[in-house]
Amino acid sequence: MIPTSPRRIFMMLCCLMLLALGIVAQSPGTVKLTIRFSNVTLDVAMEQLKEASPVNIAYDAGKLRLTQWSISAKEFKQTDISDILHYLLQKANVGYKEVAGGIVLFEKPLPPATKKDGGLTGKLLDEENGDPVIGATIRIGSTGAITDEAGNFSLPLPKGNYTVLISAIGYGAKEVSGITISENGFFNLNATLKRRKGNLAMVVVKSSVSKESIASLYLRQRNDAGITNGISREQIAVLPDKNIGETLKRISGVSTTDNRRVVVRGIAERYNMAMMDGAALPSTDVQVRDFEFDIVPSNLVDNVVVSKTVTPDMGFGFGGGMVQINTMAIPESNFTTLSFGSKYINGSTGKKFMGYQRGKSDYLGFDDGGRNHFPKEILTLTPGNYDPRNPYNHIPPPGVEKVTPEMIAEQNKAIGGLERLGTRTFKAAPGQNYQFSLGRSYNLKNSRIGLVGSLSYRNEQAIDDIQHFERGAFSMAGNNQYDLQTGKEIHESKAQQYNFTTSWGALLNAGWRIKNHQITSRNFYSRVFANQFFRIAGWGEDLAKGDDPMISEYDRPKFIDLLQNRINGEHNIGRFKFDWSIARNTVTNHEQDAVDATVGRIETLNGVSYNYSPGPGNANPGPLSRSSYKYVETNWMADAALSYKFNIGKTVQVIKGGYQYQDKKGHYDWNVLPVGVAGSFKDGYKPIQQWSIDFANPLTDMYYFPAAFNNNTYTGRNNNQAGYVMLDSRFTKWLRLVWGIRSEFYEYEKIKDEAADKVSQADLENAEKYRYVDPETGNLVHKTLDANAEDKKWLYLPSGNLTITPIPNFNIRASYAQSAIRPALIENSSFARFNYLYGRIQRNTGVVSTLITHYDLRVEWYPSAGEVISAGYFKKHFRNPVEMYLDITNTSGAVDLLTANSDYADVNGWEVDVRKSFGFFAKDVKFLNNLYFSGNLTLQNSEVQASAFRYETMGSGSDAEGNSYAYRRKTYLKEKRPLYGQVPVLYNIGLQYAGDRLGANIAFNHAGYKTFTVGMQPHYSEMERPRNQIDAQISYKFLKDRKLQVRLNISNLTNSPYRFFINGQNTYEVKPGSDNMTMKEWSDVYKWEYGFSQNYEEGYYQDSPDGKTKIRIGDTDTFIRKIGSSFSLSISYNL
């Protein structure tokens, strides 16, 4: 048979030519050459060898694609030509044969996939558009694989360390190192290739597994429909952060409050949406809409992506941004990892650590029963059923059952004694953490299954040193005095907060994947025991006269559980794609046996001492009380979406429609047990642990006297449903518009809302007798806002995201959208509680939804994989934004902290983001290629129309039913100030080195002025001053296979304080004849004194009128806290 294939014809011609020339050619086996190669591609090196060799060498450079391999510089002296060829061809899929005295090069066929238990798997994507690269070659030595139509590949390999060469026609080749195949294990590699033309296609780019992971995240960012920023697992690994609350501030435009609450683009935490693995997370804070990210361990997270613009298929509640936490992905490779570490906190570790009695299981994060003092049935006491001063002879009103001392004695016994109370002194132990993780992947006949599991434990003991506290009752109302000589404040209030924290994190994810179908189950559990013991000693305008301070203690043992389960599927059928998911999550926030105590000053013959004391029998809660607050929220979620791909000309279009469902139900129980005595307390000089609870003498023994209004329940529910339709329209290769509309339904149901904690019974009774009227409509309305009556149930929310790509790797983005923030369940309760950090009652009075209109413009340049330079502008209009107000809420004149709606706010901002390798200085210097600079900057300003309700009595007297009426009027105040929680200036700067063994990172974070509370009067608005933080890490991988890694982390290196202030009342003045009840803008009533502004000014000192002290003309410091620098060492080993 005559050979007809091109390859056979070529081989025959080469053989004939070599036979013809063989008479004069030397035998290849006897040829030795002296030759020197530079850093060139293989085709150039072969031409150089061909010219220098006396032996004829035949090959087809184009067919063999010799340009895709590079050769490192090397010199040979009198070396066999076979050794030279072996060096040149060692990485290429090219072989050679000796034929008739000459040499012929040929393409090696890829070996068939042999059945092995381990290997390399992954996916290859186009760096420009994110599409799969089809038909690319994945080669390790003489073994290789070809990517399929989805860009996936699988290459069986035995145990070992490898470097893979990836190449494809039309793309530059890439060499990726750092691949480790364990015994019977798989390693997953997701990589990108860049399109190249001409000579550029000859260049082989060197990379690593960690670089490719980061590049994949930035590739997603570049090709997302909207504006996103993120951080990958590899980037998280080089940071000293123990939880996601600490990690989030590293992302462009993101900051955090107390490393727990996230602020996106300077917009407060309640406006940001938290999701994990595609499911919305519930609020972990009881009184505000907020998820506390510190309960998610960072070592369980694969990546975090923050979306800053809206598309119709996003979930409920997008405001400033959506924070999507993706837990450890289902592996393509097997792994088992053990890690442990310890932490030292300067100013805490080894120091005196105060608190109440610890439980035997506190280190495990569980209560041992020592805090269980709240029986299901509580006997409440009222003036009608019990008289403390006449317990035996009291006659209750008709229909009221009498409570006897025997019944109280029985309840005392059921509740239990005070053995746990009373301050103890411990020694703060070093932090400790442990983690075990494993992943397994199995190949079936035509599919793959995998699972990943992880369990982590952490315990930390830290002391917050509050060097100045001036809030609530501890406010000096501007009457602070300072020593003439030293300038130090006289009678300065100080506090310490002792934080004992145990946390567990666990996840178990599993998945099954076949060619066009995938089903995944993700399950996450977190448990945190956070015991905060706060002790303040100080003075106030009406507290602790003289040199002896007043002492207050607040013990807050809090147990937080978060459990989430989600199953989702993805199915591709021809041009159709169907996605679905069902999820459930539950959060339990239980403050168990929280204690509020005033430690009283007692004068004795030996001097002044401090001791606990019960309150009088009619005080509630009095100077000593114990409480339980338990909130449980359960969310059920489901969604389904169907998309269809079709072509218009040569461009692919996608139409997508979907439905989303979310049902929230929250249940809140609170029980307050004041401790009191009717007369002279017989145990007054005994330690509190020894107080008798037998109630043998009702006039001198302590007893619990719970009142009905602070032992109650709230139950609320809301239902959210949405349908949407959207189109991904690609008009050309460089013009894309993702647009659509979302129809959203919301219904709030208040199932049960009983009396609020620490609100007098008289106020509750009076509230039932008053009715409020809207003067504009004449309709009866709620005293504040009632979401059940005043919120719109249906909203129609359009959005559009335009992306223009005039040149490769460069995007111009513009977007418009509307979204809605619905209230958290508890925000529409009438719950109130004393918040010791604010120094006042924090009260919920009801809020309505916030509607937001978004405008965004951004330009992005991606110089190479894993790099970005971007700049953008954004504008947001908030209708009914929710802020934390200080205001007078009742006839007592007390100023409480309220969650309430303002009228509107406008926010304008700019942001810049940079991540760039230093390799552009010298591409051949490996160190510079592994060294990255990152930085981001957010600048913004805003104008807020604050508002508050005022009430005007209608007529006099009451109606036939005894009800009185009042107009509910809204007063306004327009201010050029940051919105609540907003940070006008925010930037991060980082330097990172990621070598094969050595890693190092230093990060600088700056947050500017931040609004803490707002109010209708200047001295109600509290701000946080700018703060800087520096963190660093250095790591090294030991052993030949680099499986042992040691990390040294340094956090808060300069121990920068958190500082809060209010503008001092002597820094501004009231304009003559103005009225703050009718003002429209701040400047209508007030003006700054010379040299002062809204920003912090220390001012100047002057002698007091009596000349004995100094007073300060300037702003008032309210809260200064230092948390210390921390140093942690962790060791991890991959089995």
pLDDT digits (tens, 9 = 90+) for 832-885: 788 888 888 888 777 888 999 999 999 999 887 778 899 999 999 999 888 888
Flag whether 550 is in a domain.
yes
Higher per-residue pLDDT: 256 or 357:
357
Q: Are residues 1013 and 1055 in the same domain?
A: yes
User: Measured between alpha carbons, how far is 583 from 383 in angstroms, rounded to an integer?
Assistant: 49
Higher per-residue pLDDT: 726 or 1080:
726
Higher per-residue pLDDT: 368 or 33:
368
User: Measured between alpha carbons, how far is 724 from 1034 in angstroms, rounded to an integer?
Assistant: 47
Q: Are residues 85 and 129 in the same domain?
A: no
State residue 533's pLDDT score: 97
Q: Are residues 61 and 181 in the same domain?
A: no
- Mean pLDDT over 596-603 rounds to 86
As a dihedral over the C-alpha atoms of residue 1077, residue 1078, residue 1084, residue 1086, rounded to 10 degrees, the angle is -10
- Mean pLDDT over 546-560 rounds to 93
CB 684 within 8 A of CB 623: no
Q: Which range is least confidently modeled, 7-11, 72-76, 567-571? A: 7-11
Q: Which range is least confidently modeled, 280-284, 285-289, 798-802? A: 285-289
State residue 219's pLDDT score: 66
Q: Are residues 140 and 73 in the same domain?
A: no
State residue 73's pLDDT score: 84
Q: Please choose, from the candidates 558, 548, 536, 502, the residue with its C-alpha nearest in 3D space to the C-alpha of residue 354.
A: 536
Give 920's DSSP letter: G
Q: Are residues 517 and 602 in the same domain?
A: yes
State residue 302's pLDDT score: 81
Q: Are residues 18 and 159 in the same domain?
A: no
Give the pLDDT band (50/70/90) at residue 1100. Answer: very high
Q: Residue 495: count other Cβ atoms within 10 Å of its Cβ.
A: 23
Percent of the chain whose pLDDT exceeds 90: 37
Flag whether 1101 is in a domain.
no
CB 914 within 8 A of CB 869: yes
State residue 762's pLDDT score: 43
State residue 183's pLDDT score: 67
Please say which residue of 107, 131, 156 terminates a domain.
Answer: 107
Whether residue 367 has pLDDT greater than 90: yes
Say which CATH number the domain at 129 has.
2.60.40.1120
Whether residue 551 has pLDDT greater than 50: yes
State residue 763's pLDDT score: 44
- Mean pLDDT over 738-748 rounds to 94
Q: Are residues 587 and 702 in the same domain?
A: yes
Say which CATH number the domain at 79 has.
3.55.50.30
- Mean pLDDT over 78-86 rounds to 87
State residue 16's pLDDT score: 41
Q: Are residues 700 and 620 in the same domain?
A: yes
Whether residue 778 has pLDDT greater than 60: yes
Percent of the chain whose pLDDT exceeds 70: 85
Whether residue 180 has pLDDT greater than 80: no
Whether residue 117 has pLDDT greater than 60: no
Flag whether 260 is in a domain.
no
User: Measured between alpha carbons, how far is 194 from 204 in angstroms, rounded to an integer?
Assistant: 11
State residue 360's pLDDT score: 95
State residue 818's pLDDT score: 94
User: Measured between alpha carbons, how far is 10 from 107 in angstroms, rounded to an integer?
Assistant: 12
CB 99 within 8 A of CB 54: no
Flag whether 646 is in a domain.
yes
Say which CATH number the domain at 441 has.
2.40.170.20
Number of domains in the chain: 3
Q: Are residues 83 and 146 in the same domain?
A: no
Whether residue 26 has pLDDT greater than 70: no
Higher per-residue pLDDT: 8 or 672:
672
State residue 198's pLDDT score: 47
Higher per-residue pLDDT: 17 or 452:
452
State residue 115's pLDDT score: 45
Q: Please choose, from the candidates 583, 577, 561, 506, the residue with its C-alpha nearest in 3D space to the C-alpha of residue 279.
A: 583
Q: Which range is least confidently modeled, 485-494, 611-620, 719-728? A: 611-620
State residue 124's pLDDT score: 85
Flag whether 345 is in a domain.
no
- Mean pLDDT over 316-338 rounds to 80
Looking at every residue in the chain, the average pLDDT score rounds to 83
**What range defines the domain where residue 189 resides?**
119-202
CB 1012 within 8 A of CB 1022: yes
Whether residue 14 has pLDDT greater than 60: no
Flag whether 1090 is in a domain.
no
1040 burial level (CB within 10 Å; 0-12, 13-18, 19+): exposed
Give the pLDDT band (50/70/90) at residue 954. Answer: low
- Mean pLDDT over 629-656 rounds to 93
- Mean pLDDT over 771-782 rounds to 69
Whether residue 1130 has pLDDT greater than 80: yes
User: Measured between alpha carbons, how far is 352 from 1022 in angstroms, rounded to an integer?
Assistant: 32
Give the pLDDT band (50/70/90) at residue 769. Answer: low
User: Measured between alpha carbons, how far is 154 from 147 in angstroms, rounded to an integer?
Assistant: 8
Whether residue 581 has pLDDT greater than 50: yes
User: Measured between alpha carbons, how far is 693 from 413 in angstroms, rounded to an integer?
Assistant: 7
CB 138 within 8 A of CB 163: no
Residue-wise DSSP of 4-46: -SHHHHHHHHHHHHHHHHTTTSPPGGG-EEEEEE-SEEHHHHH
pLDDT digits (tens, 9 = 90+) for 190-226: 888 877 654 444 445 556 566 666 666 666 666 677 7
Q: Are residues 18 and 161 in the same domain?
A: no
Q: Are residues 466 and 547 in the same domain?
A: yes
Give 416's DSSP letter: -
Q: Which range is least confidently modeled, 200-214, 277-291, 813-827, 1047-1061? A: 200-214
Flag whether 170 is in a domain.
yes
Higher per-residue pLDDT: 937 or 186:
937
Flag whether 620 is in a domain.
yes
Please say which residue of 51, 86, 107 terminates a domain.
Answer: 107
State residue 723's pLDDT score: 97
Please say which residue of 83, 107, 131 terminates a domain.
Answer: 107
Q: Please choose, from the candidates 1068, 1047, 1062, the residue with its C-alpha nearest in 3D space to the C-alpha of residue 1127.
A: 1047
Q: Are residues 1010 and 949 in the same domain?
A: yes
Alpha helices in 692-798 (DSSP H): 761-767, 787-790
